[in-house]
Structure 1
Amino acid sequence: MASAPEPTNGLPFTIVLVTTWYSCNIGLLLLNKYLLSNYGFSYPIFLTMCHMTACSLLSYASVAWLKVVPLQIVRSRVQLLKIAALSLVFCFSVVGGNISLKFLPVSFNQAVGCDDAVLHRRVRVFHGDEARDLDHVSHSRSGRRRRHDRQPGGEPSFHLFGFIMCISATAARALKSVLQGILLSSEGEKLNSINLLLYMAPIAVIFLLPATIIMEPNVLAITVTLAREDKKIICYLLFNSSMAYFVNLTNFLVTKHTSALTLQVLGNAKGAVAVVISILIFRNPVSLTGMLGYALTVFGVVLYSESKKRSK
């Protein structure tokens, strides 16, 4: 049973909160795209590890110091193992999305990513739809765009391997949402999304560290070299990683001060806005067929969401 939304602090506050949430989501998407493609920092696993490190530190600060939500303690070793399993699936979804977007434009990836809504039934846990909070980190990854020969009627920037990785990441996100419902929905184990992130993020760092060492072995030395040539890269990484946490925080606050239904509607609209902005900024080629496909995908997700709400 989804919990009722808490009273809002007024319409102006809600508008500011929703605007901040949109800005964080789309800003992270575009900044990732800039770093991994335009700037040339093509190390998506390391970038994801930076995100999770920031989420670990800022989640602790939010819970222990700022008291955004009360601290919830892991009750047992079994619950910790469940959180670790969720974290592993989460890492796979994020890394898969990062790798896919080294080959696909943001607009195409966002359209494919919308399909996770129909890959699984939405399981409401952690105060309604808060279980979706962590999805926004993985939804908001972007990577390097490569141009490929156009095929008549097809997606101009289509890349088979990138498409496979994008589908895999989307399926992993759906699996993660289902696992959250199955593994952590019992009355004695409920965690709100901020506390879940507090425990999942450090475990994700542990998983991502060896992956970074194996798959991107020289990334630290390269980052240091880049920093000596252009100190802005450090600012980019710090700002980008912090924004990854604020995506989750603002998502949690939007749910708290509005409702899960409002969040779902806004989330559907956000995907369409992100597609339009990414095309305008990065000017990746989009065919008429592709634009129609994006529109149909978003329209289909909205219809699916409506049918699910009416069936309950």
Structure 2
Amino acid sequence: MKGEVLGAIIKAYTFVVIWMAVSISVILFNKWLLAYSGFPFPIALTMWHMSFCSAVGFICIRVLGLVKSHNMSTKDYMQRVMPIGVLYAASLWLSNSAYLYLSVSFIQMTKSLMPGLVYASGILLGTEQYQCSSAANMVLIAFGVVVCALGEANLVIKGLVQQLVALVFEAARLTLVQILMNARGLAMNPLQSLYYVSPACLLCLCVPFVLVEARPFFTEPPVMYPSVFIANALAAFALNLAVFLLIGKTSALTMNIAGVIKDWMLIFFSYAVFHAPVTRLNLFGYAFCCTGVGIYNWQKLQLLKKKALQKQREELGGKGGPGDAEAQRLLPNGASNGVGSPHGAKSEASKA
């Protein structure tokens, strides 16, 4: 028994380490490619990623048959997938553009806003219910990001705006995935996601590419090394699989907690690799953000525990049955009726 538990723990930590290593590598790779290698074309880079992912998805599903498709009609595809593709394209375009102006460390700090943005998006689109405790926690995280911005030595407003708008689009995308796909029994694994979402994203990226990057891209073509771009696309694909394995073998909550550790590592990697300045005010503000994210994750965990105990109580006899006393005993003080406890919050949305 102890051996099985130890093996499960080792396996979980292995997936966490793999995901962290691949994620850090991809972020630093993209930053180098866009800001230092002479290829300042974030839309073109994102289009290359989506082209590669579309090809991989098509080969795996239509040629090799490794995964079944959902066999969507054109109408379903336009109604369910295309809106997600539009938001995904905007999010990727703007977030990659931010690398031209902001340091990796500061970009990671701004990503602390994701839980709050997903929560706000869920309220607007009807998948979440407003709770004062959750809203107050999101304000705490937002305050930490403001402190980070005030302490940023090389803050560029254009890059900050691009990054914040990218986060808004990403939050809306995650909420739409929940509404248009998961709620209708069409949850996708990574290969299905590549097959369906990547072509939609690629198509949507063509518009900003023509309007923004096409002229400078073709007037003065950048030096392109095929091996570098193939390696970059493979790294992005590996990250997609690593995320799937991490959530599948552990949980989204584990990914959130590991993400905080990964972001701290990225801050120091950015300082070591790109010599991006990090001030004490930066670190203080980000520590403030991490506190808010930690409280948010703790609230989510408590909510999940409460729901599991309520389900167990219903299965063992319902209200007043023999399982009721056991469930009541396991619940923390005050959690049984939601008074004086964060269990009353109903937020389950964040996948940041």
TM above 0.5: yes
1:290 and 1:31 map into 2 onto residues whose CA distance is 23
Alignment deviations for residues 20-41 of structure 1 (CA, whole Å, 9 cap, x no partner): 3222211110011111112121
Alignment deviations for residues 121-167 of structure 1 (CA, whole Å, 9 cap, x no partner): 3999xxxxxxxxxxxxxxxxxxxxxxxxxxxx631011112111111
**Which residue number in structure 1 is paired with residue 71 of structure 2?**
73
1:13 and 1:307 map into 2 onto residues whose CA distance is 26
| CA positional deviation for 1:67 | 5.8
2:8 and 2:282 map into 1 onto residues whose CA distance is 40
Percent of pairs with identical residues: 25
| CA positional deviation for 1:255 | 1.6
| CA positional deviation for 1:61 | 3.5
Larger Rg, first or second structure (1 or 2)? 2
Aligned length: 273
Quick one: structure 1 residues 186 and 76, their matched pair in 2 at CA, closer, same or farther if it must change by over 3 Å?
farther
1:76 and 1:34 map into 2 onto residues whose CA distance is 39
**Which residue number in structure 2 is paired with residue 196 of structure 1?**
193
Do structure 1's residue 34 and structure 2's residue 55 form an aligned pair? no
Q: TM-score, normalised by structure 1?
A: 0.78
RMSD of Structure 2 on Structure 1 (CA): 2.8
Match of 1:21 among 19, 22, 27: 19
Secondary structure in 1 aligned to 2:223? helix
Match of 1:303 among 273, 295, 299: 295
Amino acid at match of 1:94: L
Secondary structure in 2 aligned to 1:190? coil
| CA positional deviation for 1:57 | 1.6
Quick one: structure 1 residues 201 and 8, their matched pair in 2 at CA, closer, same or farther if it must change by over 3 Å?
farther
**Which residue number in structure 2 is paired with residue 43 of structure 1?**
41
Quick one: structure 1 residues 309 and 37, their matched pair in 2 at CA, closer, same or farther if it must change by over 3 Å?
same
Alignment deviations for residues 241-272 of structure 1 (CA, whole Å, 9 cap, x no partner): 22112211111112222233322322232222
**Which residue number in structure 1 is paired with residue 143 of structure 2?**
none
Alignment deviations for residues 58-100 of structure 1 (CA, whole Å, 9 cap, x no partner): 2333445666644332256134422100010111111111222
Do structure 1's residue 172 and structure 2's residue 164 form an aligned pair? no
2:69 and 2:254 map into 1 onto residues whose CA distance is 26
The answer to whether the Cα contact below 8 Å between 2:112 and 2:289 also exists between their aligned partners in 1 is: yes
The answer to whether the Cα contact below 8 Å between 1:87 and 1:200 also exists between their aligned partners in 2 is: yes
**Which residue number in structure 2 is paired with residue 278 of structure 1?**
270
The answer to whether the Cα contact below 8 Å between 2:39 and 2:222 also exists between their aligned partners in 1 is: no
Amino acid at match of 2:276: N
Greater share of helix? 2
**Which residue number in structure 1 is paired with residue 104 of structure 2?**
106
The answer to whether the Cα contact below 8 Å between 1:88 and 1:204 also exists between their aligned partners in 2 is: yes
Amino acid at match of 1:162: G
5+ residue gaps, structure 2, are 123-149, 305-352
Q: TM-score, normalised by structure 2?
A: 0.70
| CA positional deviation for 1:118 | 1.4
The answer to whether the Cα contact below 8 Å between 1:114 and 1:297 also exists between their aligned partners in 2 is: yes
1:66 and 1:263 map into 2 onto residues whose CA distance is 30
Quick one: structure 1 residues 221 and 66, their matched pair in 2 at CA, closer, same or farther if it must change by over 3 Å?
same
| CA positional deviation for 1:9 | 8.3
Quick one: structure 1 residues 225 and 190, their matched pair in 2 at CA, closer, same or farther if it must change by over 3 Å?
closer
The answer to whether the Cα contact below 8 Å between 1:59 and 1:194 also exists between their aligned partners in 2 is: yes
Alignment deviations for residues 257-290 of structure 1 (CA, whole Å, 9 cap, x no partner): 2233322322232222222211221111121111
2:97 and 2:103 map into 1 onto residues whose CA distance is 12
2:259 and 2:121 map into 1 onto residues whose CA distance is 16
| CA positional deviation for 1:208 | 1.1
5+ residue gaps, structure 1, are 1-6, 125-152, 228-232
Quick one: structure 1 residues 60 and 19, their matched pair in 2 at CA, closer, same or farther if it must change by over 3 Å?
farther
